Structure 1
Amino acid sequence: MKSYAKITAQGAYVPEKVMTNEDFEEIVETSDEWIQQRTGMKERRIAAEDEYSSDMSYKAVLDLQEKYDVDLSDVDMVINATLTPDHKTPSVASYVQARLGLEHAGAFDVNAACAGFTYALNLANGLISSGQNKKILVISSEVLSKITDYTDRTTCILFGDGAGAFLVEYTEDDPSFIASTFGSDGAKAPNLYCTEHNQTMFGEDLENPGKIVQNGRGVYKWAVGKVPKIIEETLAKTDYTTDDLAWFVPHSANARMDESICERAGLDKEKLLMSLEYFGNTSSATIPLAIDLAMQRGQMKKGDLTLLVGFGGGLAYSSTLIKWDL
């Protein structure tokens, strides 16, 4: 008997502290108008000093559990996407596994930067479809505020903190997952990176090691050129076209960029779901946060054909076409 995977619950969490565009006017040379025109962002959430990725992951799972009243005692794997783990080791997933008391569950992290959530979802689908696992928590959590250089006006306005979680379970005949892609363009890695060392492999000496360094123009150009091709490649594996999509959920890095991607891909902008307006760029967490917002607003319905595309540092990318059934 063939195994399939189905998304059965979702949840999210964002910290209480709000950082507005006006707050940035006090620390760097910028303005609310400038930020909104170029990014579409108004606010972002900032983790407390003693709040870390594992804390937010755990709270996102609690939200999932409360919304859908699901039993998590038989979860057999925890996958956590993050580029901001509490420590190099143990994994954030291991902390979450312990806090949930999942004694018989495996746990590991995925670091594919902003593509991390779609990478993790596709891994969960593969593990369940192969018969290896039956019930997997797929989580994304980022505390980007802890690696943001607040003296760099070009990047500090972008990033926020947040977490999202999906429950993916075994099903015999009603799968959520239809088609997917993975990829990376490592030659363009210098466009987006974070290092703990003073000197990078690209030959630079950093004044603030451990902070995000980004060539925004380079990432923008790559994404606008590459993501429409990813959309085409994913749909080509099916009988669907962009007209069949109910929703397109890309990584919420920049509203202008995502709108340009829609134009190039021939996608109606009304199908675009983003989370950046009030949460900023939360890297791997932008996609589950966008879906959580859409669910709160009553936008997403059972049976909606939905395409998720994550892309970012690496420069890595991943897509998954799903049938939404919540």
Structure 2
Amino acid sequence: MTRIRSVIRGVGSYLPARIVTNDELARTIDTSDEWIRQRVGIRQRHIAAEGEFTSDLAVAAARAALDNAGYAIADIDLIIVATTTPDYTFPAAATLVQMKLGMEHGFAFDLQAVCSGFVYAVATADSYIKNGLARRVLVIGAETFSRLLDWTDRSTCVLFGDGAGAAVMERIDLEEGEPERGVLASALRSDGRHWDKLYVDGGPSTTGTTGHVHMQGPEVFRHAVGKITDVVYATLEQSGYGVGDLDWFVPHQANKRIIDGAGAKLGLPPEKVVTTVDRHANTSAASVPLALSVAVADGRIKQGDLVMIEAMGGGFTWGASLIRW
């Protein structure tokens, strides 16, 4: 009896050329490199250029992932773009990515779960593959989050950056006795009671404006570690594995103290935790695929490794997926 599995064939990423350091921010707001590093572990972030849109970042990451997988856009059935910062209210950024990649077949849509978007998109692509609606899916997390920031608010503007990461997921049919591969389990959660702890004060139906990010930092921190470990344990329980079986933990890159706290609570040694928040800051839905791309490119994540991805974002939303690479 065969088992349908969704494997990751390739990953790719893109970061805008402009790098903004903590020292540069300190010239315009009341902050310092030391203050930012101590509290969140960030030393720099990338900022999209004028006229550089979320779909442009997504396309660059998608092309890198396709090259890494050895596929062309003609081989893809579905594009899912996880983003909070689409080019337009509509159409979906995914359809613009579809157009810019020259894809005239299949289908494309956006998924909005803020920082959890890529994890939600991986679970969604896995479901579409297992239900026969797609064979190969291009999953992208892309954000120009800098355009939601109030650059005079030091509690939020120092935290975020822009970027995109992508993965090519493909159906395989495992024969009886073949070792497991691909997405083994996922757990997704949300709780709208906490919406006002991390939100943007604008939208088409409320203010008719884009708005800016607002965050109750201590409240988000208080919830984060518990919610992260909750979905990690739930995913492991589904799969029959334990924390000790993990080769790599790839968390959402929001705050170094949250990453360290979750790793410590799970009992994971720091050397198994992929951390890029110092270079990328919080890129929302792009965070996890950017970190995956770094760890694949430098040779840490390799075929056969057991990889846990997780994220938590506004909503609150949170989730995790366990992947046999």
Q: Does 1:193 align with 2:199?
A: yes
In structure 1, the residue corresponding to 2:91 is in which secondary structure?
A: coil
* Alignment partners' CA distance in 2, 1:313 and 1:165: 21
Deviation at 1:297, TM superposition (A): 1.9
| Residue 33 of structure 2 is aligned to residue 29 of structure 1 | no
Give 2:202's aligned amino acid: E
Shift of 1:7: 0.8
The residue aligned with 1:86 is 87
TM-score (norm. length: structure 2): 0.94
Amino acid at match of 1:165: A
Letter in 2 for 1:160: G
**Which residue of 2 is the match for residue 136 of structure 1?**
137
Write the distance in 2 (CA, Å) between the matches of 1:143 and 1:264.
32
Aligned-partner Cα distance in 2 for 1:257–1:170: 34
Q: Offset of 1:62 from its aligned partner?
A: 1.5
CA positional deviation for 1:44: 0.3
User: Residue deviations 1:277-305, cap 9 Å, x none?
Assistant: 11110001111111111122221121110
Give the TM-score, by structure 1 length: 0.94
Gaps of 5+ in 1: 201-205
Matched, 1:51 2:52: yes
Instruction: Give a deviation string over 1:11-36, Cα, whole Å, max 9, x none.
Output: 00000000000011111111101111
Q: 5 Å matches for 1:13-24?
A: 13-24=14-25
Q: Equivalents in 1 of 2:274, 2:134: separation in Å?
A: 30
2:157 aligned counterpart, secondary structure: coil
Report the alpha carbon displacement of residue 263 of structure 1 after superposing the two structures with TM: 1.2
Partner in structure 2 of residue 179 of structure 1: 185
Aligned residue number for residue 221 of structure 1? 222
Specify the alignment match of 1:259 in structure 2.
260
Distance 1:109 1:44 in 2: 24
Q: Is the 8 A contact 1:80 1:108 kept in 2?
A: yes
Q: Deviations over 1:90-122 (max 9, x none)?
A: 001000111112111201000000000010011
CA contact (8 A) 1:44 1:161 kept: yes
Q: Does 1:8 align with 2:14?
A: no
RMSD: 1.7
Query: How far has the Cα of 1:89 moved from its partner?
Result: 0.4
Task: Spell out, residue by residue over 1:43-70, the C-alpha distance to the aligned partner (whole angstroms, 9 max, x if none).
Answer: 1000001011100000001112333432
Q: Which amino acid aligns with 2:250?
A: V
Match of 1:283 in 2: 284
Contact preservation (8 Å) 2:252, 2:311: yes
Structure 1 distance, partners of 2:88, 2:118, is 19
Give the Cα–Cα distance (whole angstroms) in 2 for the partners of residues 48 and 285 of structure 1: 17
Aligned-pair CA distance for 1:197: 5.6
Give secondary structure in 2 for the equivalent of 1:196: coil
SS of the residue 1:44 aligns to: strand
Aligned residue identity for 1:14: L
| 1:203 equivalent in structure 2 | none
Deviation of residue 195 (structure 1)?
2.9
What stretches of structure 2 of length at least 5 have no aligned partner? 175-179
Map residues 153-172 of structure 1 onto 2, 5 A cutoff. Answer: 153-172=154-173
User: For residues 187-221 of structure 1, what are the alpha-carbon distances to aligned partners after superposition, in whole Å with 9 as ceiling and x for unaligned?
Assistant: 11110001326997xxxxx9x96111111111110
Structure 1 residue 77: deviation in Å? 0.6
* Residues matched between the structures, number: 318
